[in-house]
Structure 1
Amino acid sequence: MKTPLLTVDTVVVQNSSILLIKRKNDPYQGSWALPGGFVEYGETVEDAAVRETKEETGIDVILKELVGVYSDPDRDPRGHTVTVCFLGSKIGGMLKSATDADDAKYFDLNEIKTLDLAFDHERIIHDSLKLLKI
């Protein structure tokens, strides 16, 4: 029996800008994406979101709210993945790309509209902005 893989993403908003990473690996190598990745066995989705954000961006976050669960079987070309996405706020750390990211930086909302984002991250950001009433 095949089952979907579980991933997490974090939307970190600071001064009306959103933190994105430039993907180092396929799929979507070179595209901008939300920080996130696979949940490890025995790990909560909350812990995975905090860990992945720190690993990819150097930023420590506290999770504020659930944005949603995204489960379209075609959202990831590697196969069926389900992502749990959270809103997060920076509580520390120093911005620097690492692990699966070639770059990490904040983009203002107008810049984000011009980017070709990986996966379904445009939809996730849109849903996040609705939650934040931006």
Structure 2
Amino acid sequence: MPFEYLSCPRCGEKVRAYRNPVPTVDIIIETPDGIVLIERKNEPLGWALPGGFVDYGESLEDAAVREAWEETSLRVAGLRLLGCYSDPRRDARQHTISTVFIATAQGTPRAGDDAAGLAVFPSNKLPATLCFDHRKILDDYLLVTGLSSD
């Protein structure tokens, strides 16, 4: 069911409350040494693309730049769209829709915000298991860019 009913705080009348997917962004950060992944500090634990929730009043692009900075301490450039991922099961916590960007960065990445750790992986040495649907996203990225995961 796409909605539930709440009670109006003034009159007690039942009011329909819609449940909508939550917008998120993920970002594939390309460096000369490979792709930056974070090790998540919070559930679900494991390797993931940097990313997170879009703040109210924030554009998707601004959210991607902000999340990249907060989680990796990298300033990204050349932001371009890879695609959108909306499988309701992509995040067990709630239904999210992620807009995924690709960008480049120079410098030394450092784990920040909700990242317990961080590593740069060559495209042919990516972890087999990633959080959420990030393995599918990276497989799509490798296909689009012509890079190899072998």
TM-score (norm 1): 0.91
Aligned-pair identity (%)? 43
Kept in 1: contact 2:33–2:120 (CA 8 A): no
> 1:11 aligned to 14, 18, 28, which one?
28
Q: Which amino acid aligns with 1:10?
A: I
Residue among 101, 112, 125 paired with 2:138: 125
Deviation at 1:64, TM superposition (A): 3.2
The answer to which structure, 1 or 2, has the higher relative contact order (CA under 8 A, 6+ apart) is 1
Structure whose residues are more often helix by fraction: 1
Q: What TM-score, normalized by structure 2, do the two folds share? A: 0.82
Aligned ranges for residues 5-84 of structure 1 at < 5 Å?
5-15=22-32, 17-26=34-43, 28-29=44-45, 31-84=46-99
- Aligned-pair CA distance for 1:131: 1.8
Q: Which has the larger radius of gyration?
A: 2
Cα pair distance change 1:16/1:130, threshold 3 Å: farther
Alpha-carbon distance in structure 2 between the residues aligned to 1:129 and 1:60:
22
